[in-house]
Structure 1
């Protein structure tokens, strides 16, 4: 028995040593910032950041004076075209929309690489300032979908004084403390041994939207990332940690939208955010037939109408009844 125990002990030590050796040779990669100090500026098709980096952008501008402007941030592996229908819908109602490719996504440089949570938040802060400079007196709202919502939350303390409010569509707040231990451990190990390995998600039984034609179109779009590096997943986990820990009390106004069939961002971390005392003044809408990609689901028009009405102050205070929120958050995922 003692010989067997010694054998197991030596095996554990050997495996631990091998893991440590592998971890010493690899680490999650973060793309460095640009080396050119530049004055930030907005152009027709891109925004120039303070390090010389260019963020490709698209605008939807209604006729007449600027009433409200929305700065839109896309989700993981997506890009600014995610807001094509949103931009058309809102601009037809007098709302200006600007969407840009966040670093490492879409048509930006360093495609497929993680550029760091802090840099994404800094870009958002600069973009808000640039919008104010271009359209002084026109209120700015930030609309973040999934990862974009996490960036907005992580940057809240930097931008709260410069925006009228935020719209969070299925925000990515799945922090590590709501993940199973095995998942956290596997992610850490993979990020420190095979950070460049790409994962496709094939075989996962997940439905991000009920709009199948839209999903097929994304599959054909070369600017949508199909295989994600492990260190990017590690980076987005760091970002979600920051988003979940953010203090939402500093936001003057907020609208949070969540689909009850969301299979990407689980119910538990979302309800944890909704349970914060500082969120008591937020407007919250739950969509019984909604999935993760709410603004592109089959019921997208209803979602976009809610956003437009909220922005134009037609139906403020859309918070769900307390008993419905309580019932939603009390239900286990297995009960759906």
Structure 2
């Protein structure tokens, strides 16, 4: 008589063989044309429309920031960041990435290449709109992964003067336990349309409870994530981590030591890969009381002040003292 484990394994194999599917990637946009900026939308080369918000300083701007949100979020993630930076002379643009917020095909994964291409296109459009001003890219979590992935895709240099990565999503497969990789493949290839809400997980994204409750009420924040979106996100994180040694822009990396979304292991892998790469034009700031949503935590002003100081610093091409940076990473990563 077969054991229960054997029956379970046979049943699981039959399920896989009978129900194997391909994770969906949403098709391209509508009518192709020349990328351009409209008052409230950026139109990409394939006709896809990305809603955006902009915060402008009262006086002459000193710099421009293009901001990318995280998974299931949208441009409203920068609703407090934008005014804060604008009040210090920085123009801030934040847009809904494909498949999120108010975009077409919301809730679907549109592919890493499209996310990266959109960022590049918007960077070029803002360069033309604000000639002579430095342009910086700000990415939170998945948004930071998009910025990192662009560093290693073999294309031309991203048209920007630097990047700020907050809680970068670099939980690549090589940093996952084998069973997590297996379950991810299994679910994405058998039930790609199945959604997951995260309910029941004891994970704290921020200590700003009022903000988290507001997110829960916001209809544009996605509450249930498809399995094939998680698969696509993991593909993006694979590319982001692999691209770290190829970093070629001055970069500020911000990470909260209480981050429960991106574990310490992949975060430390990113930092150690950068350290061993010999690229000295990056800086890491670790916040002992910081969570995943650093720019919206209760200590957000400290984080925003660090961003402002870095953006407005006149020189970023002088390598940081390696010894001091290594000591901070050693303290955190052990």
TM-score relative to the length of structure 1: 0.91
Query: 1:239 is matched with which residue: 236, 244, 252?
Result: 236
Measured after TM superposition, the shift of residue 322 of structure 1 is 2.5
Which structure has the larger Rg? 1
Structure 1 counterpart of 2:185: 188
Does structure 2 conserve the Cα–Cα contact (< 8 Å) formed by 1:160 and 1:250? no
1:166-223, Cα deviation, whole Å (9 max, x unpaired): 1000000000111111111111110111111111000000000000000000000000
1:281-322, Cα deviation, whole Å (9 max, x unpaired): 311100010000000000000000000000000796598642
Q: Which moves more between the two structures, 129-138 or 101-110?
A: 129-138
Does structure 1 conserve the Cα–Cα contact (< 8 Å) formed by 2:205 and 2:292? yes
Structure 2 counterpart of 1:334: none
Measured after TM superposition, the shift of residue 8 of structure 1 is 8.5
Structure 2 counterpart of 1:329: 333
Shift of the 253–143 alpha-carbon distance from structure 1 to 2, 3 Å rule, reads same
Measured after TM superposition, the shift of residue 323 of structure 1 is 2.0
Q: In structure 2, how many angstroms separate the alpha carbons of the residues matched to 1:108 and 1:204? A: 28
Shift of the 100–13 alpha-carbon distance from structure 1 to 2, 3 Å rule, reads same
Structure 2 counterpart of 1:333: none
The DSSP-based 3-state class of the residue aligned with 1:50 is coil
Measured after TM superposition, the shift of residue 71 of structure 1 is 0.4
1:86-108, Cα deviation, whole Å (9 max, x unpaired): 10110000001000000010111
1:124-173, Cα deviation, whole Å (9 max, x unpaired): 01011111111122111100000000000011244635211110000000
1:284 equivalent to 2:252? Answer no
Task: Give the superposed CA RMSD.
Answer: 2.1
Does structure 2 conserve the Cα–Cα contact (< 8 Å) formed by 1:156 and 1:248? no
Structure 2 counterpart of 1:138: 133
Query: 1:53 is matched with which residue: 7, 28, 48?
Result: 48
Does structure 1 conserve the Cα–Cα contact (< 8 Å) formed by 2:249 and 2:281? no
Shift of the 163–188 alpha-carbon distance from structure 1 to 2, 3 Å rule, reads same
Does structure 1 conserve the Cα–Cα contact (< 8 Å) formed by 2:151 and 2:246? no
1:229-253, Cα deviation, whole Å (9 max, x unpaired): 1111111001000101014544230
Q: In structure 1, how many angstroms separate the alpha carbons of the residues matched to 2:302 and 2:128? A: 33
TM-score relative to the length of structure 2: 0.92
How many residue pairs are counted as aligned between the two chains?
A: 325
The DSSP-based 3-state class of the residue aligned with 1:160 is coil
